[in-house]
Amino acid sequence: MSAEAKLREQICLLAKSLFDRGLTHGSTGNVSARTPDGGLLVSPTGTSFGRLDPGSLSRFDDQGALIGGDKPTKEMPLHSAFYETRETAGAVVHLHSCHAVAWSMMPDADPDNFLPPLTPYGLMQLGRVKLLPFFLPGDPAMGEAVRGLAGKRSVVMLANHGPVVAGKDVEAACNAIEELENTARLAMMMRGVTARALTDDQVQAVVTAFDIDWDD
């Protein structure tokens, strides 16, 4: 099996795992990954993560031209913006995960540091998460908002919509977006309770120990 064929299978396997565990639903969510030749494989528009077909994934060449597969997701501006601004991005995943969306609706959610520091793993896998305002689905302005961050964030949260994560590869991106959803779930569970979050000193210790890009 070729490297690209293996990547196609991996994308569909991981997407189904996310779907089966309720992290996205219906035909929501989209995923893309770099191919060995510098192109992209992208989930098609209107498809379910639970039923992706490896042979139908949208295929782009290294110049960004669609050369095969079905019509890609309408959220391509989001994906393209991450690849253009983060050289380390090997995959991008976008979900409509329930707890992350719920937390984005909270009036006290911090736009510059969306998730409270509840566990070290949230910091390690996500860094500082930027909460972006609401955009219409598919609006190219979402991509411009990501470009405006100049590659400083690997994760953004679209208000009332869902998280978007760029990772070194598709497995890393999926792991990180699961960590985001779990942290948001913890935040919702702890809402209204005087929870013991990590202190500033503990956050700094994690940031230093794991060389996390934490500054604005």
CB 95 within 8 A of CB 172: no
**108, 148, 163, 198 from 115: Cα distances, Å:** 11, 20, 12, 12
Helix, strand, coil percentages in the chain from 3-state DSSP, rounded to 5: 40, 15, 45
Helix (H, G, I), strand (E, B) or coil at 93: strand
Q: What number of residues does the chain have?
A: 216
CB 159 within 8 A of CB 132: yes
Catalytic residues: 121
